[in-house]
Amino acid sequence: MKKSNKKGFVLAETIAVAVIVMTSLVIVYTQFMYVSKSYARTFTYNSVNNLYLANNIKQFISKDGMNNLINGLKNNNYIDITSCSTEYFTEYIYCETLLDNLNVKQVIFTKSNLDELKANLPSGLSEKMKQFINYINYKESNIYRIIVEFNDESFATLILN
Protein backbone atom coordinates (compact mmCIF):
# COMPACT_ATOMS: atom_id res chain seq x y z
CA MET A 1 0.00 0.00 0.00
CA LYS A 2 1.09 3.41 -0.87
CA LYS A 3 0.38 6.35 1.48
CA SER A 4 -1.39 9.26 -0.13
CA ASN A 5 -0.30 12.85 0.48
CA LYS A 6 -2.84 14.42 2.98
CA LYS A 7 -1.14 17.78 3.57
CA GLY A 8 -3.83 19.71 1.66
CA PHE A 9 -6.62 18.02 3.64
CA VAL A 10 -5.02 18.96 6.99
CA LEU A 11 -4.69 22.58 5.86
CA ALA A 12 -8.36 22.73 4.76
CA GLU A 13 -9.46 21.08 8.00
CA THR A 14 -7.43 23.60 10.06
CA ILE A 15 -8.93 26.56 8.18
CA ALA A 16 -12.48 25.21 8.62
CA VAL A 17 -12.00 24.68 12.35
CA ALA A 18 -10.41 28.14 12.73
CA VAL A 19 -13.38 29.77 10.96
CA ILE A 20 -15.87 27.93 13.19
CA VAL A 21 -13.96 28.90 16.34
CA MET A 22 -13.60 32.54 15.27
CA THR A 23 -17.31 32.77 14.40
CA SER A 24 -18.22 31.34 17.79
CA LEU A 25 -15.95 33.84 19.55
CA VAL A 26 -17.44 36.78 17.64
CA ILE A 27 -20.98 35.66 18.54
CA VAL A 28 -20.06 35.23 22.20
CA TYR A 29 -18.32 38.64 22.24
CA THR A 30 -21.29 40.49 20.72
CA GLN A 31 -23.70 38.85 23.16
CA PHE A 32 -21.42 39.66 26.08
CA MET A 33 -21.17 43.31 24.99
CA TYR A 34 -24.96 43.58 24.73
CA VAL A 35 -25.41 42.10 28.21
CA SER A 36 -22.65 44.29 29.62
CA LYS A 37 -24.18 47.44 28.11
CA SER A 38 -27.63 46.54 29.46
CA TYR A 39 -26.16 45.79 32.88
CA ALA A 40 -24.39 49.17 33.00
CA ARG A 41 -27.58 50.92 31.87
CA THR A 42 -29.58 49.42 34.76
CA PHE A 43 -27.25 51.16 37.21
CA THR A 44 -27.43 54.55 35.52
CA TYR A 45 -30.98 54.71 34.12
CA ASN A 46 -33.94 54.59 36.50
CA SER A 47 -32.34 52.62 39.31
CA VAL A 48 -34.52 52.03 42.35
CA ASN A 49 -32.54 54.50 44.44
CA ASN A 50 -32.75 57.21 41.79
CA LEU A 51 -36.47 56.68 41.28
CA TYR A 52 -36.97 57.07 45.03
CA LEU A 53 -34.98 60.33 45.01
CA ALA A 54 -36.87 61.60 41.98
CA ASN A 55 -40.11 60.78 43.77
CA ASN A 56 -39.13 63.25 46.50
CA ILE A 57 -38.82 65.94 43.84
CA LYS A 58 -42.14 64.86 42.32
CA GLN A 59 -43.90 65.18 45.67
CA PHE A 60 -42.44 68.64 46.20
CA ILE A 61 -43.56 69.80 42.76
CA SER A 62 -47.04 68.40 43.31
CA LYS A 63 -47.37 70.48 46.48
CA ASP A 64 -45.68 73.65 45.27
CA GLY A 65 -45.41 74.94 41.74
CA MET A 66 -47.19 72.38 39.55
CA ASN A 67 -49.67 74.89 38.08
CA ASN A 68 -46.93 77.48 37.49
CA LEU A 69 -44.80 74.89 35.71
CA ILE A 70 -47.69 73.75 33.51
CA ASN A 71 -48.39 77.38 32.54
CA GLY A 72 -44.71 77.98 31.82
CA LEU A 73 -44.56 74.88 29.64
CA LYS A 74 -47.12 76.26 27.19
CA ASN A 75 -44.42 78.24 25.37
CA ASN A 76 -41.50 75.81 25.80
CA ASN A 77 -40.59 72.16 25.25
CA TYR A 78 -39.14 71.96 28.75
CA ILE A 79 -38.37 74.01 31.84
CA ASP A 80 -35.10 73.66 33.72
CA ILE A 81 -36.13 73.83 37.38
CA THR A 82 -32.66 73.23 38.83
CA SER A 83 -32.38 76.85 39.93
CA CYS A 84 -35.66 76.65 41.91
CA SER A 85 -36.86 79.93 40.47
CA THR A 86 -39.36 82.01 42.45
CA GLU A 87 -41.29 82.23 39.19
CA TYR A 88 -42.41 78.64 39.76
CA PHE A 89 -41.96 77.88 43.48
CA THR A 90 -42.99 79.73 46.62
CA GLU A 91 -40.82 77.43 48.77
CA TYR A 92 -37.70 78.03 46.69
CA ILE A 93 -35.32 77.68 49.67
CA TYR A 94 -36.74 74.24 50.43
CA CYS A 95 -36.38 73.39 46.72
CA GLU A 96 -32.71 74.40 46.71
CA THR A 97 -32.03 72.40 49.88
CA LEU A 98 -33.87 69.36 48.51
CA LEU A 99 -31.94 69.33 45.24
CA ASP A 100 -28.66 69.89 47.04
CA ASN A 101 -29.28 67.05 49.50
CA LEU A 102 -30.33 64.68 46.71
CA ASN A 103 -27.11 65.41 44.76
CA VAL A 104 -29.04 66.64 41.76
CA LYS A 105 -27.16 68.14 38.85
CA GLN A 106 -30.18 69.08 36.72
CA VAL A 107 -33.96 68.67 36.77
CA ILE A 108 -36.18 69.38 33.82
CA PHE A 109 -39.96 69.50 33.66
CA THR A 110 -41.55 68.59 30.34
CA LYS A 111 -44.49 66.91 28.67
CA SER A 112 -44.70 63.17 28.93
CA ASN A 113 -44.52 62.76 25.17
CA LEU A 114 -40.91 63.65 24.38
CA ASP A 115 -41.17 63.73 20.57
CA GLU A 116 -40.88 67.54 20.37
CA LEU A 117 -38.05 67.62 22.91
CA LYS A 118 -36.17 64.83 21.11
CA ALA A 119 -36.53 66.64 17.79
CA ASN A 120 -35.02 69.85 19.24
CA LEU A 121 -32.64 68.81 22.01
CA PRO A 122 -31.38 72.03 23.59
CA SER A 123 -27.71 72.83 23.98
CA GLY A 124 -28.13 73.43 27.73
CA LEU A 125 -28.31 69.69 28.39
CA SER A 126 -25.33 67.40 28.86
CA GLU A 127 -24.63 64.76 26.21
CA LYS A 128 -25.49 61.98 28.66
CA MET A 129 -28.78 63.70 29.49
CA LYS A 130 -29.56 63.86 25.77
CA GLN A 131 -28.81 60.14 25.46
CA PHE A 132 -31.13 59.41 28.38
CA ILE A 133 -33.93 61.50 26.86
CA ASN A 134 -33.54 59.59 23.60
CA TYR A 135 -33.70 56.34 25.59
CA ILE A 136 -37.09 57.21 27.16
CA ASN A 137 -39.98 55.74 25.20
CA TYR A 138 -43.41 56.90 26.32
CA LYS A 139 -46.01 58.45 24.05
CA GLU A 140 -48.98 59.64 26.13
CA SER A 141 -49.25 63.40 25.76
CA ASN A 142 -51.64 64.82 28.38
CA ILE A 143 -49.34 64.15 31.30
CA TYR A 144 -46.11 65.75 32.48
CA ARG A 145 -42.79 64.33 33.61
CA ILE A 146 -39.60 65.25 35.38
CA ILE A 147 -36.21 64.11 34.18
CA VAL A 148 -33.45 64.18 36.78
CA GLU A 149 -29.70 64.03 36.27
CA PHE A 150 -27.67 63.30 39.38
CA ASN A 151 -24.07 64.35 40.05
CA ASP A 152 -22.88 60.75 39.65
CA GLU A 153 -24.13 60.82 36.02
CA SER A 154 -27.12 58.61 36.73
CA PHE A 155 -30.66 59.47 35.68
CA ALA A 156 -34.31 59.00 36.59
CA THR A 157 -37.63 60.03 35.12
CA LEU A 158 -41.10 60.02 36.64
CA ILE A 159 -44.54 60.85 35.34
CA LEU A 160 -46.45 63.56 37.23
CA ASN A 161 -50.21 63.20 37.38
Q: pLDDT of 128-147, one tens digit each? A: 999 998 888 877 767 899 99
* pTM recorded for the entire structure: 0.76
- Which residues, other chains included, contact 105 with Cβ-Cβ below 8 Å and sequence gap of 6+? 82, 126, 149, 150, 151
Helices assigned H by DSSP within 45-86 = 48-63, 66-72
Residue 116 confidence class, pLDDT cut points 50, 70, 90: confident
Work out the number of other CB atoms within 10 angstroms of the CB of residue 86.
13
147 in Cβ contact with 132 (< 8 Å): yes
What's the pLDDT at 114?
85
Instruction: Name the more confident of 38 and 121.
Output: 121
What's the pLDDT at 9?
75
User: Residue 61 pLDDT > 60, yes or no?
Assistant: yes
User: Residue 6 pLDDT > 70, yes or no?
Assistant: no
User: Residue 22 pLDDT > 90, yes or no?
Assistant: yes
